[in-house]
Structure 1
Amino acid sequence: MAPSALQNGGFILGLIGAAALIAATAMNKWSVKDRQGDVVTSVYTYKGLWQDCETTTSGFTECRPLYGLLGFSGTFQAVRALMIVGVVLAVLGTVISVFSLSCLTMNKMEDTTKAKMSLTAGIMFIIAGVCGIAGGSIYAHQIVSSFMMSSYSNYGGGYEQGMMGGGMGMGMGMGGGMSGGLPRYTFGPALFVAWIGGGVLLIAGILKSVSFKEMVKDDEKPRYPGVVYKPQSHSQTEVIDHHMEQRKGEQKYV
C-alpha cells in the first residue's frame, strides 16, 4: 500500500479517535442508574468524571460538580488522569500528523523529516488509545464491583456502601435504588465511546507507523533518473569518407 494512503487513513482515524476521546471525557453518562427491579421513579440518575446529575421526568436536570482532589479515591483520579493524557496526546498527534502528510508540501522539509513526524504521531496515537481503553476499563471494573456489592447488600451492606462511596468517588449513595440496599449502576454510553475512540486511535497509530516504514523504503531508492546509452549513428557516406581519408593517410606515409 502507498505511504500516502496509509498516512491519510491514519490521519482520518486519528482525528475521529481524538474527537471520540474528547467527547467521552466530557460526557456525564459514564454510569447510569439501573432501573431493573426498581419501583417506578421520576428521577433518572447518571454520573460522570466531572459531575453527578439527576434528571426528572419533567425535563429538569440538576448536576453537582465534582470539585477537588482529596475527596476522591486514587482509582477515580487515575481514570481522570488517563483520559486527560489520552486527549492531550491524541490532539498533539493529530497536529503532528497534519504536517507529516506527503500531500502537504512545505519549504525545506525533507521526506525523512516527514517520516519521523509520522512515526511520532503514530506512537502518540497508540499511547492515547491505550489510555482511553485503560481508563474506560478501570471505570467499568468499579461499576461491576459496585453492582455486585449492591446486589448482595444483605451481606455487610453498610460497610460496602461506605467503601464504594469513598472508593469510586462517584457518590454511590446518591438517589434511591433497591429497597433496603444500595443503588445499582450500570455502564453508561460514555464508556463505549471511550472504548471505541481508543480502538480507533490504536488502528490510526499502527497505520502511521507502517507508513513510516514505507516512506523510509522509498527514500532509500535512487532519486537520479536512469541514463540510456545510445551508440553514435553514422551514415554510409560518412563511413566511406572516413575510410578513404584513412587510406590516403596510409599512402602518404608510404
Structure 2
Amino acid sequence: MASGSAELVAFLLVISGWVLVSSTLPTDYWKVSSIDGTVITTATFWANLWKTCVTDSTGVSNCKDFPSMLALDGYIQACRGLMIAAICLGFFGSICALVGMKCTKIGGSEQTKSRIACLAGLIFILCGLCAMTSCSLYANRITVEFFDPLYVAQKYELGAALFIGWAGSSLCIIGGSIFCFSLVKDNKNRRVGYAYNTAASAISTRTKAYNDSTDFKAPNASPKHFDKNAYV
C-alpha cells in the first residue's frame, strides 16, 4: 500500500514537472530588459529560443524571428535541443509510468511492472537533467553578459520561463527518484520474504523428518527389558 501511494505521488510530480517543462519551450520571457523613462516604461525588450521582440509603452509588440538556425549562437541551439529532448523523454516516461504503476492493469507480472516503473523513473530523471541544463546554460549566458563591463550591447535579466523550467525539472527529478526508490524497496521486501519462507520450509522439513524417525516403530515389536544379570 505504501509503495502504491509513493508511486501515485511520484506520478503526479513527474506529470506536473513535464507539463511545466513543456510550457517553458514556447514561453516568451526567457530574458527581459526594459528602458525606463521619467514616468513610464518606454520599451521592454524580451527574447526566447525562437525570436526577439520589443514592446512599447502602448503595448504594441514588434518581433523578429531568428532568421537561420545555422547562424544562431551555439548556446541557443544547445538549449533548443535539450528542451526538445526533455519533452520527448517526458512523453515516453509518462507511458512507462502508466504501464509500470501497480494501480494499472497492464504491464504483465508485478516484477515486470516494477522494472518498467524504474525505467520510467530513470527517463524522468534524464528529462529533468536535460531541462535544467538548458535553463542553466541560458541563464549563465545572461549573467555573464550582464556582469561583463566590456559588453556594450543590450543587457538582459532572467525571465520567468527560466524559473518555470527549473521548477519543472526539479519535480521531474524528484518524482523519478521516488519511482526508483520504490523499486529498490520492493526488491528488498521481496528478498526478505523469500529468505523467511525458505528458512521456515527448511525448519518444517527437518522437524517432519525428525518426527518421522522417532515415530517409526517396527510392527509387533515389544519393548525389551534387561535384567541386571542379563550379561552375567
Bin for the TM-score computed over the shorter chain = 0.7 to 0.9
Partner of 1:27: 27
If asked which structure has higher relative contact order (CA below 8 Å, sep 6+), I would say: 1
Per-residue Cα deviation, 1:128-156 (whole angstroms, up to 9, x for no partner)? 1111111111111100111123xx24xxx
Partner of 1:71: 71
Partner of 2:145: 146
Partner of 1:201: 172
Gaps of 5+ in 1: 154-159, 161-180, 227-254
Which deviates the most, 42-51 or 53-62? 53-62
Partner of 2:224: none
Where in structure 2 are the equivalents of 1:152-163 lying within 5 Å?
A: 152-153=149-150, 160=151
- In structure 2, C-alpha distance between the alignment counterparts of 1:218 and 1:202, rounded to whole Å: 25
Quote how far apart the aligned CAs of 1:36 are: 6.8
- In structure 2, C-alpha distance between the alignment counterparts of 1:13 and 1:38, rounded to whole Å: 45
Identical positions, percent? 26
Dislocated runs of 4+, deviation >3 Å: 34-41, 217-222
Gaps of 5+ in 2: 201-232
Quote how far apart the aligned CAs of 1:59 are: 2.3
> Does structure 1 residue 96 correspond to structure 2 residue 96?
yes
Is residue 36–residue 42 contact of structure 2 (8 Å, CA) maintained in 1? no
Is residue 34–residue 44 contact of structure 2 (8 Å, CA) maintained in 1? no
Quote how far apart the aligned CAs of 1:208 are: 0.4
Quote how far apart the aligned CAs of 1:125 are: 0.8
Counting matched residue pairs gives 197
DSSP-derived class of the 2:154 partner: coil
Where in structure 2 are the equivalents of 1:110-189 lying within 5 Å?
A: 110-149=109-148, 152-153=149-150, 160=151, 181-189=152-160
Partner of 2:59: 59
Which deviates the most, 133-142 or 51-60? 51-60
Is residue 50–residue 67 contact of structure 1 (8 Å, CA) maintained in 2? no
Per-residue Cα deviation, 1:8-52 (whole angstroms, up to 9, x for no partner)? 111100000000101111112100014479995432110001121
- In structure 2, C-alpha distance between the alignment counterparts of 1:39 and 1:127, rounded to whole Å: 47
Partner of 2:183: 212
TM-score (norm 2): 0.76
Is residue 34–residue 43 contact of structure 2 (8 Å, CA) maintained in 1? no
Partner of 1:168: none
TM-score (norm 1): 0.70
